[in-house]
Structure 1
């Protein structure tokens, strides 16, 4: 068998993903690295996503407008889970701070940890259905933001 024929067969049987990977430019070691795969941050995204689903359910059903909603077990459990998420977001902030990272995620996690209790309090204090809807929308947005800042690919500093 000639060398040209052997090379042609080898190329036909080769995995194209290997060639694609080889064609990629080398990674810059100074480029920011995603933390979404790390257990702490994956847990934050999962917890926040689950709480957002609860809030979305309340928005769709109007549950928060029912009498006794805030005294109920469902809201009490949600409030406890949201407070736990806020504490864990602060842990994420502190973990990134310990690493010496100087990126937006570190600051955003701290801000979210401070904003969650504020949004819960605004929901509880809302005097009417329109204000509760606004408070729920803002809480859903914050919880979604918590997921997206963790799962979005990091961008290099400008």
Structure 2
């Protein structure tokens, strides 16, 4: 069945309409752009890391608000929990490495795992309240970073 001239002209105008062309280009670019890696935040290991980090961060917040250093027993329990968290961070790093994930999260988890004992030791060895507050602040930042790097939406590789 032959197409009427009006329909043929309308089709040609649609194809040459800049807004239609832009929309098509946007769809084509989206189709060829690299996809964001899947989020791991809901996976049990990573959700556990987030939960532990939030709990320890709350403890650090309490210590930062208190005028005195934590008692030895409380700090020993906290320190043991940070050792477990650092081990889970390293486990997360290894898991991502074994999956072949190429991204920042893998490296950040390894860095946090290695840095956690150093930050805890700085709190433990603080000579005075000012040094303790500074060390607690750095530890809090590290714990917060642990939460944020896992829960932030992943971005596609450039």
TM-score (norm: length of structure 2): 0.77
Runs of 4+ in 1 over 4 A off after TM superposition: none
Q: CA deviation at 1:32?
A: 1.2
List gaps (5 residues or longer) in structure 1.
Answer: 1-24
Q: CA deviation at 1:34?
A: 0.6
Deviations 1:76-110 (A, max 9, x none): 11000000000010000000000000100000000
Corresponding residue for 1:154? 154
Bigger Cα Rg: 2
List gaps (5 residues or longer) in structure 2.
Answer: 1-29
Q: CA deviation at 1:29?
A: 7.2
Deviations 1:41-98 (A, max 9, x none): 000000000000000011012342x6xx3x2x21111000000000010000000000
TM-score (norm: length of structure 1): 0.77
Q: Give the alignment partner of residue 45 of structure 1, picking from 50, 74, 91.
A: 50
How many pairs are equivalent?
Answer: 130
> Which whole-Å CA distance do the structure 1 matches of 2:67 and 2:91 have between them?
33
1:27-42 map, 5 Å: 30-42=35-47
Corresponding residue for 1:78? 78
Deviations 1:131-151 (A, max 9, x none): 100000000000000000000
